[in-house]
Amino acid sequence: MFKDVIRELHRMEEGMRVSIQLELDDAGYLDRKCPSKECKIDFKVHFEDWRNKVADEVVFCPICRYQAASTEWNTQAQEQQIKTEAMRYVQGRLDSAFSANARQFNRSQPRDSFIKMSLTYRPGLLPVVIPAAANEILRQQYTCENCASRYSSLGAAFFCPACGHNSAISTLDASVRTVQKTLEILQEIRETLTKERDPDTSENSVRHLCENGLVKLVSSFQCFAEALFDRIPNRAAFNPRRNLFQNLLESDHLWRLAIGGGYADMLSASEYSALVIFFQQRHLLAHKEGIVDQDYLDRSGDQRYALGQRLVIRSEAVTRLADLILHLADELRKRLQCITYEPIIP
């Protein structure tokens, strides 16, 4: 009775292609999302560059440099759009088949039969595709120094999605500025969320933005320092461990060996002490949910907290960290421009 439906299902089982048009923003950029479980950052790539410069086999995350095939970078909204439009397509084909079989069944019924049967098929409502909306206020645009691919992200971005080039040195200032712009509109965000949602949601969101800003600033400086260190002429004399530049004390020692001076020489005593605390806070936020442990108390010297408390990150603290990061980055650039690089043997 349902020959057309069965035939349509067999065709689908053999394989089908559905053309889906993903939404671009007004500047022609395509939303992307890192598939790494540890990253999951959102960013954008200009669609022309995604189509013409990005390889199908490998794409690089601009934040963590995770590598995956080009099919793995859809955002949650895009995945939902793909599923929804695929369902629309399947439902549309089955609707036609069911309707045709119902008409055939009704035509086959004898007109003078004592018992009359008819079959009616009513298609269900097709799901509505809701386009993903993007907040462009804080988005920073980049152009790769190596291959000229265009991409953008909310906050720091260091690696080209097309070729993987590390641009952390040239993008640090822009990354810090993005965090500063976030802090500038915190009150506007608080008022909007309080009006549209509730005060609790508003305050939780503001707290998250401050914490996220601190983490991004430290991560941005880490990538900057790694990239800068890789360019010194005597780089081959050293073999720093992975993520060494997340540790302020270790990286300070490494710079002293490499160029004869460390962070403590480029900052005042109070500035360096504050930076030690900020780096330790980043570690707590990233790995301990912000809960103060004994390691934090021992390494930071921060006497404002007791064991088991949770960090409270204020916008003023993030603003100070942004200023410290820019100052320290400038000092490193100056040192590397005028120093003769001879490794100092401890």
> Which whole-number Å values give the CA distances from 158 to 53, 112, 221, 229, in the listed order?
18, 78, 11, 15
Q: Is residue 318 part of a domain?
A: yes
Q: Is residue 139 part of a domain?
A: yes
pLDDT digits (tens, 9 = 90+) for 250-308: 999 999 999 999 999 999 999 999 999 999 999 999 888 899 999 999 999 999 999 99
Residues 182, 185, 191, 193, CA torsion sign: negative
The per-residue b/e assignment along 154-180, b for 16 or more CB within 10 angstroms, e otherwise, is bbbbbbbbbbbbbbbbebbebbbebbb
CA distance 216 to 172: 11
Q: Give me the number of domains the chain comprises.
A: 2
Local structure of residue 142 (DSSP, 8 states)? E
Whole-model pTM above 0.75? no
pLDDT grade for 84, boundaries at 50, 70 and 90: confident
Q: Do 34 and 103 fall within a single domain?
A: yes
Among 106, 137, 166, give the residue marking a domain's end.
166
Q: Do 228 and 272 fall within a single domain?
A: yes
Q: Is residue 158 part of a domain?
A: yes
pLDDT grade for 177, boundaries at 50, 70 and 90: confident
pLDDT digits (tens, 9 = 90+) for 6-64: 666 556 565 556 677 788 888 899 989 999 887 888 889 999 999 999 999 999 988 78
Contact (CB, 8 A) for 251 and 241: no
Residue 134 has pLDDT above 60, yes or no: no
- Residue 151, φ and ψ in degrees, nearest 5: -150, 170
Contact (CB, 8 A) for 328 and 228: no
> Which whole-number Å values give the CA distances from 115 to 83, 103, 109, 112, 228, in the listed order?
43, 18, 10, 9, 87
CB atoms within 10 A of CB 139: 19
Q: Which helix or strand (DSSP H or E) is residue 179 part of?
A: helix 168-184
Please provide the average confidence, as pLDDT, over all residues in the chain.
80
> Which whole-number Å values give the CA distances from 333 to 228, 251, 261, 265, 305, in the listed order?
8, 16, 12, 14, 35
Question: Quick one: which of 4, 2, 63, 7 has its CA closest to 35?
Answer: 63
Local structure of residue 247 (DSSP, 8 states)? S
pLDDT digits (tens, 9 = 90+) for 136-175: 555 677 888 788 888 887 656 778 889 888 777 777 888 8
- Residue 44, φ and ψ in degrees, nearest 5: -135, 150
Cβ within 8 Å of residue 270, ≥6 positions away: none
Q: Do 131 and 187 fall within a single domain?
A: no
Among 166, 183, 206, give the residue marking a domain's end.
166
Q: Do 203 and 289 fall within a single domain?
A: yes
Q: Average pLDDT for residues 62-74, to the nearest whole number?
A: 89
Q: Is residue 343 part of a domain?
A: no
Q: Is residue 121 part of a domain?
A: yes
Q: Do 149 and 185 fall within a single domain?
A: no
Domain of 252, in residue numbers: 175-338
